Chain A
Amino acid sequence: MIKNFLSLEWKSFFRSASFGKGLAIKILMGFLSLYFIAIFLGMGVVLYPGLKKTFPDKDPLTIVNSVLFYWVIGDLVFRFFFQKLPMMVVKPLLVVPVKRSKIVNYVLGKSVTSFFNFLPLFAVIPFGITLMVEGYPILSVISWMLTLMLATLIINFLNFIIESFSTEIELSFLPIISIAGGLFVLNYFDVISFTQIFANGFNAIYNTPVLIVIPVLILIGLYIINFKLLRKKLFLDSGLKEKVKEIQASNLDWTKNFGDIAPFMQLDLKLIWRNKRTKSSVWMVLIGLLYGLFFYPQPTYQGMPWFFAFIGIFSTGIFLINFGQFIPAWDSGYYKLLMSQNIKYEQYLQSKFTLMALSVVILFVLGIPYVFFGWEILLAHFVAAIYNVGVNTHVILYGGSFNRKKIDLSQKAAFNYQGTGAVQWLIGIPLLIIPMGIFALFYFLIGFEIACLVLGILGVLGIVLHQKLMKGITAKYLQSKYKMIDAFNQNN
């Protein structure tokens, strides 16, 4: 049976429509894994002599045990964002004579083979061998190594339990962040010393290897919980089905002020607010807005005015870049409808433009408090905003006409690269680097004010030529109409 499952996965990998893309990512992942393996291996080898040298009067093993708590927390958080339960396309298997428990066991068993579980071994094994060479009791060292492996598996299964509960809520990363943060804080201020508890635990197993039964029991317990959770979800009306929420329709009549593009603007606003993926790009806006706070408080950056333009472009243009780079792929699900309806392409694009321009203005206004760090910053942000409205919006709309990747709106955003073609990444570069380059050039040649003026003039030029530019962009979209319809029609 397992052989059948494996052959199914093999086929789904090699026969998928996005195989080429998948392969490229897989190769990239392969290099990344090699890199991590090398790091861990190096760590495992160097750890013992290194610790011995730095802390000659302490036992390296005890030191390692005393920081294991941080490893557990770190691993848990990392896995939450990067490791997903390998749910194969389980639906078709439900109606064929395969026992449900078999499917669940297979899915869980497969998760054990995850790279995340093997990575620690590359550090643990060389470290353990060093310990044995150094004359530590062999049985104890082996049981210590086994305990670490068990801990890895415990983290593995614990993560899936956390994930299965977290997916039910809107901001799914909040619980894990708050739990991990809470534990960390409790530990840091010595309210409860988890480092000590963990260290004691590992030391105890090292001293009395029989105690290894405890992590084994924990692991079995977690496996059973996972099994039960998954078993329950293997029904069409529970885990495999999206939850249907009652919705609250909002009145968007204010968009009527924008005239004939109003219907599209309403559609875009609903698009942003009602889909997970787009909604999380709204949260990204917050990050962009606060981006300046990473730099401006530091005196180093205060002396680099040429850098202000970059932060200005980024913080007023974060929505523009985030949302704009997937035009028109946001509408890929119903692109055929739009193309056969009585619409003018220009209005459709104009709506996107208005939305992006509005976001730039709003983000600039929200960013006015940056004036606290100096009026130059505000001025730089102001010209950056003008540049964003006048130039970057048009550039990104133009870039969108090369967009050929469908986006499935229901997917989550973080680390979901669906719909990101190479062109999309390339477009981010000119949007940020070119204005910064221009700004820096004039700043070093003449001065800050002139650099601001140049960026501002470029932006105003773009705004003045808006009608003309939109005509050109529309023509480009019309040209690639059939290619887009065809591409958006394909499921990857």
Chain B
Amino acid sequence: MIVTSNLSKKYSSNLVLNIASLEIPKGQSFGLVGNNGAGKTTYFSLLLDLILPTTGCIVNNGIQVNESEDWKPFTSSFIDESFLIGYLTPEEYFYFIGELRNQNRADVDKLVAQFEDFFHGEILNQKKYLRDLSKGNQKKVGIVAALIGNPEVIILDEPFANLDPTTQIRLKGIIKDLAEKQGVTVLVSSHDLMHVTDVCERIVVLEKGEIVKDLATNAATLKELEAHFSGVEIV
């Protein structure tokens, strides 16, 4: 589904990302972990054609993202709060995104209705603008908006941060369901090793822009990751 080759990004002489090759098959739930500055957000920004690669390219479902815009209809994302439009209400925001993705109001209503418990009664019908919601609630809106319009690729940067425990658990369920049952390719980045190991079938560890580990998740993965990040390699 997503093929990355010889991808690198340099800022002046500072190499922030360097991935020789990375292939993410369709329907995989893919986790990206790494410390601050490891290149997670840079990779996602490249994938969304928000910045230009220095070398190499990413091909999303056969479409090279910096050449054509045809990847947009089947790709959706939530990177940070700058993906929200502050002066809209959550409903208006959902409808707006829906219209961009060719969904009518009924479609959007139907999808959003599934997440009523996720919203905890704090988002819909509150007569509030997005800019006036709390950080956590803003995030929920952004994540749900990324699910509108049956995308085949969903990119979520740090989806678990700022969320309350109930919502974290619910979100994990949603992500797993998307990948397993609906064949959606989900890309998630996180600092929380436990969450990623729970959710993702495959975890890639980035360090200073390079891939240092590429693991298929199993019972031992969490231990291995913890060991890696605490600096003690297990034998």
Contact = CB atoms under 8 A, between A and B. Distances in A.
Contact of B92 (A248, A249, A340): A249
B173 interface: no
Contacts of B77: 340
B185 interface: no
Contacts of B149: 342
Contact of B100 (A244, A263, A482, A486): A263
Contact of B85 (A246, A249, A262, A334): A334
B51 to A, nearest CB: 6
A336 B84 contact: no
A341 B85 contact: no
Interface in A454-492: 482, 485-486, 489
Interface in A394-424: 409-410
A271 interface: yes
A343 B132 contact: no
A441 interface: no
Interface in A367-410: 409-410
Contacts of B82: 333-337, 489
Contacts of A244: 128, 132
Interface size class of A (residues with CB under 8 A): 20 to 34
Nearest to A331: B85
A247 interface: yes
A482 B65 CA distance: 13
B87 A275 contact: yes
B87 A270 contact: yes
A247 B129 contact: yes
A341 B49 CA distance: 11
A64 interface: no
Nearest to A332: B82
B127 interface: yes
B99 A336 contact: no
Interface in B123-151: 127-129, 131-132, 149
Interface string A266-290: 1100110011000000000000000
A339 interface: yes
Contacts, number: 80
B84 A337 contact: yes
A266 B86 CA distance: 14
Given A337-B82, A337-B85, A343-B100, A270 B92 contact: yes
B87 A340 contact: no
B83 interface: yes
B96 interface: yes
B72 interface: yes
B79 interface: yes
A244 B128 CA distance: 8
Nearest to B85: A334
Nearest to B78: A337
Interface string B158-196: 000000000000000000000000000000000000000
B84 A334 contact: yes
Contact of A341 (B51, B87, B91, B97): B97
Q: Which of A266, A275, A342, A482 has the most CB of B within 10 A?
A: A342
A249 B73 CA distance: 28
Contacts of A486: 51
Interface string B20-61: 000000000000000000000000000011111000000000
Given A244-B132, A334-B83, A342-B101, A485 B72 contact: no
Contacts of B128: 244, 246-247
B89 interface: yes
A333 B76 CA distance: 18
B129 A482 contact: no
Contacts of A485: 50-51
A340 B96 contact: no
Contacts of B73: 342
A419 to B, nearest CB: 16
Contacts of A341: 72, 76, 97, 100-101
Interface in A249-273: 249, 262-263, 266-267, 270-271
A168 interface: no
B63 interface: no
B88 interface: yes
A479 to B, nearest CB: 12
A333 B72 contact: no
A242 interface: yes
Contact of B129 (A274, A333, A340): A274
B100 A342 contact: yes
B88 A482 contact: no
A333 B86 contact: yes
Contact of B72 (A267, A342, A489): A342
B86 A409 contact: yes
A246 B128 CA distance: 6
Contacts of A248: 127
Interface in B78-116: 79, 82-89, 91-92, 96-97, 99-102
Nearest to B51: A482
Contacts of B129: 247, 274
A272 to B, nearest CB: 10
A468 to B, nearest CB: 21
Contacts of B91: 249
Contacts of B52: 482
B132 A242 contact: yes
A280 to B, nearest CB: 15
Nearest to B102: A342
A439 B189 CA distance: 60
A263 B87 contact: no
B48 A340 contact: yes
Given A249-B91, A337-B85, A342-B149, 20 more contacts: A247-B89, A247-B128, A249-B92, A270-B87, A270-B88, A271-B87, A334-B83, A337-B82, A339-B48, A340-B49, A341-B72, A341-B76, A341-B97, A341-B100, A341-B101, A342-B73, A342-B101, A342-B102, A482-B51, A486-B51
9 contacts: A247-B128, A267-B88, A271-B87, A334-B82, A339-B48, A340-B77, A341-B100, A342-B100, A342-B101
Q: Which 7 A-B pairs have the closest CB atoms?
A: A263-B99, A274-B87, A337-B83, A342-B72, A340-B48, A244-B132, A342-B73
Interface of A: 242, 244, 246-249, 262-263, 266-267, 270-271, 274-275, 333-337, 339-343, 409-410, 482, 485-486, 489
